[in-house]
Structure 1
């Protein structure tokens, strides 16, 4: 069991080593670290500095309090904020220490006292971002009011961008903060920004949309990410599609827009909404513009896979002449494993229980592309698994297409992978079975009690 110690306990041990063993501060810290680590203590959140350091940092916070009271010049306030930010930037343990010293409340005081001073306001937000990155617990009701007010006010673009960035930091790994901000109607402000489409703040606004639908707080058994996604999707999908068309040549924005769209497609009617709004044509145009761009194509593959969750949209995708575009994108982005895996999973989703799609992709030359990718990455589990899914779904309802795969020696490739990757044995054997190869399938459940050991999520039954 890991021993947990406080900063105070560590500091006391350092002082004892200085006083009793007459060690220098540096040697005393080194000795204290050795002592606690030998006892199995976790020192990851402990600041390992001499006693004088803590006095100086606390003094910086005290001085900021006094400067706020005296309503001094903004230059002095900015200097103190920058000093606190510098300490926070050193690591999480320094953020925790400054949080314990009350830096959060004092920074909000500075923001309130110097609300009309651009320099102070921006430096307050920058310092809050640094202080609360990976430490979102500090956010309270007062902070939520600050967020909402600065998103609704007529402030400069940089202040709004920093407010959004701070919001993302506050919501990451913190379900309660997400719910509080959502209940405070942050979505109204976000909708306005998406409609306005200011490229300088758009990426940060999209980041907030994404973080509001996450389920990454291990302290909470059930989050509201799905409910948030439904509401956000209902109110913003059309705006995002419009932005996707408007900024189709801007790589960073296109990437963020597609990531956001993929996270919001939590219901099949949303997929249909994207298709009806012309989303498929826009995605195809983006794939054609950014053919050799690995990052963009990866997000396009993921987005198409999400849209294919709607059976009607799945058919529409191939009817929009995506088969040759997908095949070409896989051929042109062979250096990036995550992109290839995303593409193969996309093919698997498009061909699931859809022989018409299988036929179109088959005729576009997808078998040769899949085989080449499998040969290129024989030791990559994710490639062999996604390729197995794609092959299985292509041939499962078009058995006549098995011949082409077999002539390309896919059986040998799959059998080789079967020996290497026992964890994807079921996936490979399913592909071999539907190719008509001789394979012995393991019976996962006999009705005698116990649990299934294999989850099948995208296979054709």
Structure 2
């Protein structure tokens, strides 16, 4: 659990350092920061400058003006100007957002939205809310949740306004577990499903997908246990068919395809969902997407991650290779311009497909995957994750197909892996295990003797075939 303090606690500590130690304000702030950081306190949302500083004056004045105008009926232009100013000020950084939040402008913005029917005022209000609460979701309260649900289901509402509400909703969910739970418990999924239809504008679909992904995050360090898995389970059960239909319908749309692939990957938390994607024709659709966007590294990387997730189901794993993915994967990995993150995703995908599957290993082997694996490990010799996932792929390839060892060794696998051993001591086990399965002479450290103690082996049992 991360330690946090309020702004008032920080300000009082600064005041004490000024009075007790005779420091200037700047010296007191610096000393206070050091004191709290030494205690492990998170100061990311604390304003470390004096609120009297000029850089925060505009935020304070802007908030005051909006508060005075919130009930006016004929001040749309003035309100829009101040909303734009507030948005620009909040976008300067987190401390500016915190300063704005302390003025109480959050409720003022909700009041303005409800009091003004003009579309441009509503849109600018939502843009200001997004700027205010991005990375500062703590401001959301029960009124905000009710506001989201009331306006998101309003069929008479303009799609652009609903898109902005979805965008704000997503920002309220990021890094805040309780907001996610409150929004989810308000049955937002029923409304999100209505946005995942072919006739809905593409930008609105993308924002709805971003909310789905935000609801299954597990990124709030203040909460020991979240409900990400439960949310993912229900969302997957109710949206997978809709997502596959969208991917099939819009398979030529780059940005939407990437968002759908991201969402699908985030929802693959149970093995039966992998089969559900396959039953919906997912394997053919994903393969088609990889072919269509063969030169698009971002989409190829996301496809690798999704295939790896689908390979968690043993039936899907077999069917993926039977569908001819070996050639597609080989071609996708053969580009010389691939980034280390894409290579890592691709090698991890190969490792997942060949885990306890000599049949898959044989097909990939016959299509020349050993040359590709080793070429990538050699090309990215300074990248630890590439070396780690490459060693996983080699292990799973040869573990139950020993006839492949000769080919890997002739291609220089031993020299490449031993070179990595000298550079990356913290993945020593993974690299040595690959050497062992290749039949090379290697001394493995005995991790556990059965006499008590902690097992410290770092490899992932789900990734590597033992």
TM-score, normalised to structure 2, is: 0.91
Equivalent residue number for residue 84 of structure 1: 86
Equivalent residue number for residue 388 of structure 1: 391
Equivalent residue number for residue 39 of structure 2: none
* Shift of residue 3, structure 1, vs aligned partner: 10
Change (3 A) 1:127 1:436: same
Equivalent residue number for residue 459 of structure 1: 464
Task: Please list, as runs of the form range in 1=range in 2, the aligned pairs for 1:377-456 lying within 5 A after superposition.
Answer: 377-455=380-458, 456=460
* Shift of residue 87, structure 1, vs aligned partner: 2.0
Give the conservation status (yes or no) of the 8 Å contact 2:14–2:28. Answer: no
Greater mean deviation of Cα atoms: 428-437 or 55-64: 55-64
Note the residue ranges of structure 2 that are not aligned, 5 or more in a row.
37-42
Task: Please list, as runs of the form range in 1=range in 2, the aligned pairs for 1:290-329 lying within 5 A after superposition.
Answer: 290-329=293-332
Equivalent residue number for residue 127 of structure 1: 128
Task: Please list, as runs of the form range in 1=range in 2, the aligned pairs for 1:281-292 lying within 5 A after superposition.
Answer: 281-292=284-295
Equivalent residue number for residue 359 of structure 1: 362
Change (3 A) 1:4 1:265: closer
Report whether the alignment pairs 1:335 with 2:335: no
Equivalent residue number for residue 372 of structure 1: 375
* Shift of residue 10, structure 1, vs aligned partner: 9.2
Greater mean deviation of Cα atoms: 37-46 or 376-385: 37-46
Task: Please list, as runs of the form range in 1=range in 2, the aligned pairs for 1:164-175 lying within 5 A after superposition.
Answer: 164-175=166-177
Change (3 A) 1:4 1:99: closer
Distance, in Å, in 2 between the alignment partners of 1:67 and 1:169 is: 26
Task: Please list, as runs of the form range in 1=range in 2, the aligned pairs for 1:4-19 lying within 5 A after superposition.
Answer: 6=8
Secondary structure at 2:342's aligned position in 1?
A: helix
Distance, in Å, in 2 between the alignment partners of 1:142 and 1:51 is: 31
Give the conservation status (yes or no) of the 8 Å contact 1:11–1:51. Answer: no
Note the residue ranges of structure 1 that are not aligned, 5 or more in a row.
22-27
Secondary structure at 1:70's aligned position in 2?
A: coil
Give the conservation status (yes or no) of the 8 Å contact 1:333–1:340. Answer: no
Distance, in Å, in 2 between the alignment partners of 1:87 and 1:108 is: 19
Deviations 1:111-135 (A, max 9, x none): 1111x21011101100100111111
Distance, in Å, in 2 between the alignment partners of 1:112 and 1:3 is: 33
Give the conservation status (yes or no) of the 8 Å contact 2:321–2:363. Answer: yes
Report whether the alignment pairs 1:207 with 2:210: yes
* Shift of residue 272, structure 1, vs aligned partner: 0.3
* Shift of residue 35, structure 1, vs aligned partner: 3.9
Equivalent residue number for residue 26 of structure 2: 33
Equivalent residue number for residue 40 of structure 2: none
Deviations 1:202-237 (A, max 9, x none): 111110000000111111111000000000000000
Distance, in Å, in 2 between the alignment partners of 1:8 and 1:444 is: 50
- Counting matched residue pairs gives 448
Equivalent residue number for residue 24 of structure 1: none
Report whether the alignment pairs 1:142 with 2:143: yes
* Shift of residue 56, structure 1, vs aligned partner: 5.4
Report whether the alignment pairs 1:48 with 2:49: yes
Distance, in Å, in 2 between the alignment partners of 1:56 and 1:379 is: 48
Give the conservation status (yes or no) of the 8 Å contact 1:333–1:339. Answer: no
Change (3 A) 1:341 1:76: same
Aligned mate of 2:251, from 240, 248, 252: 248
Greater mean deviation of Cα atoms: 246-255 or 307-316: 246-255
Equivalent residue number for residue 152 of structure 2: 151
* Shift of residue 38, structure 1, vs aligned partner: 4.1
Change (3 A) 1:65 1:367: same
Secondary structure at 2:70's aligned position in 1?
A: helix
Distance, in Å, in 2 between the alignment partners of 1:84 and 1:447 is: 63
TM-score, normalised to structure 1, is: 0.92
Equivalent residue number for residue 258 of structure 1: 261
Distance, in Å, in 2 between the alignment partners of 1:459 and 1:69 is: 63
Secondary structure at 1:69's aligned position in 2?
A: coil
Secondary structure at 1:453's aligned position in 2?
A: coil
Distance, in Å, in 2 between the alignment partners of 1:278 and 1:402 is: 36
Change (3 A) 1:442 1:10: closer
Give the conservation status (yes or no) of the 8 Å contact 2:232–2:266. Answer: yes
Change (3 A) 1:232 1:63: same
Task: Please list, as runs of the form range in 1=range in 2, the aligned pairs for 1:182-201 lying within 5 A after superposition.
Answer: 182-196=184-198, 197-201=200-204
Equivalent residue number for residue 225 of structure 1: 228
Report whether the alignment pairs 1:344 with 2:347: yes
Distance, in Å, in 1 between the alignment partners of 2:295 and 2:68 is: 57
Distance, in Å, in 1 between the alignment partners of 2:220 and 2:195 is: 27
Distance, in Å, in 2 between the alignment partners of 1:396 and 1:416 is: 22
